[in-house]
Structure formats: C-alpha cells, structure tokens
Amino acid sequence: MKRILLAALGGGILVFVWGAIAHMLIPIGDMGMSTLENEDAVLEAFRSNIPRPGMYFFPGWDWSREMTPEQESTWMEKHRNGPAGLLIYRPKGGEPMPPSMLVSELISNILGAFILALVAASLIGSYIRRALLLSLVGLFAWLAISISAWIWYGYPFAYSVGEGLEVYIGTLLAGLVVAKLVPAPSGEAKNA
C-alpha cells in the first residue's frame, strides 16, 4: 500500500505540473478559447439578467415539466435560429487562481493517480506495457467526457483536441511514474 500511495503522490504531482505547463507555457491549454466581442455590453446584460451562479443551457428548456407540442416546436425553432450554447456563470467573479483552487486541482490529480496505482497493482507485463495501458485511462476519459461535450454542447473542436492532448499526455506521464513505483502482481509475465 505504501508504494501505491507514493505512486499516487508522485503521479498526481507530475500531472499537476504538466497541467501548469500545458496552460501557462505552451498553447495546449488555450486551444479553442475565444474572448467576447463587445465584452462590456455582454457582461452588463449578464449582470442585469442572470442573478444566480450556475450552468445555463440556452435557449432554455424546462425539464421540470412536460412541454406542449407548441412549446417544444417554439424551442426547436429558437435552437435552430440561434444563438444556442452553454454558459458557466458566476455573477460575483472572484480571484482568477486562488490557492484553494490550486490545492483542489492537486488533490484531484493525486486521487486520479491513486486510481491508476490501484489498476497498476493488477497489471502484469513490462514496465512500458503497463504504463501504456494506464495511459489508456486518459484516452477513455477524453473520449467519454470531452468528445461528448463537443458532440452535445458544441465545445469548440480545437478546445476538445487541446483537452485531449493535455489529459492523455498527463495520464501517460502519471502512468510512467505509477508503473515504475507499483510492482506487477507477480514475477510471471514481467517481460511480456
């Protein structure tokens, strides 16, 4: 268990550092991001019309009740004609990168690496084979989450590609550390 915890810590820290590099030093973290034109007017409209933080899908659909066929038809027409999208909104704003956010990110990276370490403890094979198999967890996460967001919510494709690169490379790096620190379950097939 000690090796699993050490691997989780090392892998998580490496993913955290890689994320910082991807977002601050190379353009992977910025791929597909845009700024609002006429931002001040748009933000004023937000302030005047959206009082609560939340995730807003627009045009809005009220899932708490069944819509009449006429309401559904009106919604579909609004969606076709646009604008349509998804808005993550905080009316109060806040510090862009407070220490609490960085600590939460590090903890989530360590927990993710802990999962990799648990999986690694049951993988037989060579070091490289095990590391590459662990990296597939990142590929799965990207396909299941980021590509779904592109398909269903219209995330920019470039953003989804950048997120895929960040997640896969981060998982590969963590997999290399974890596979090194967590031994295969038995001596057999280590060179497979």
- What integer pLDDT is reported at residue 150 of this predicted model? 94
Q: What is the mean pLDDT of the chain?
A: 92
Residue 58 lies in a domain: no
Domain count, the chain: 1
Residue 187 lies in a domain: no
- What integer pLDDT is reported at residue 187 of this predicted model? 59
Residue 59 lies in a domain: no
User: Above 90 in pLDDT, residue 189?
Assistant: no
Counting Cβ atoms within 10 Å, is residue 83 exposed (0-12), middle (13-18) or buried (19+)? Answer: exposed
The range of the structural domain enclosing residue 115 comes to 2-33+96-181
Sign of CA dihedral 124, 164, 142, 111: positive
Interval 73-118: pLDDT, tens = 999 999 999 999 999 999 998 898 899 999 999 999 999 999 999 9
And the tokens for 150?
A: 């592109």
Residue 91 lies in a domain: no
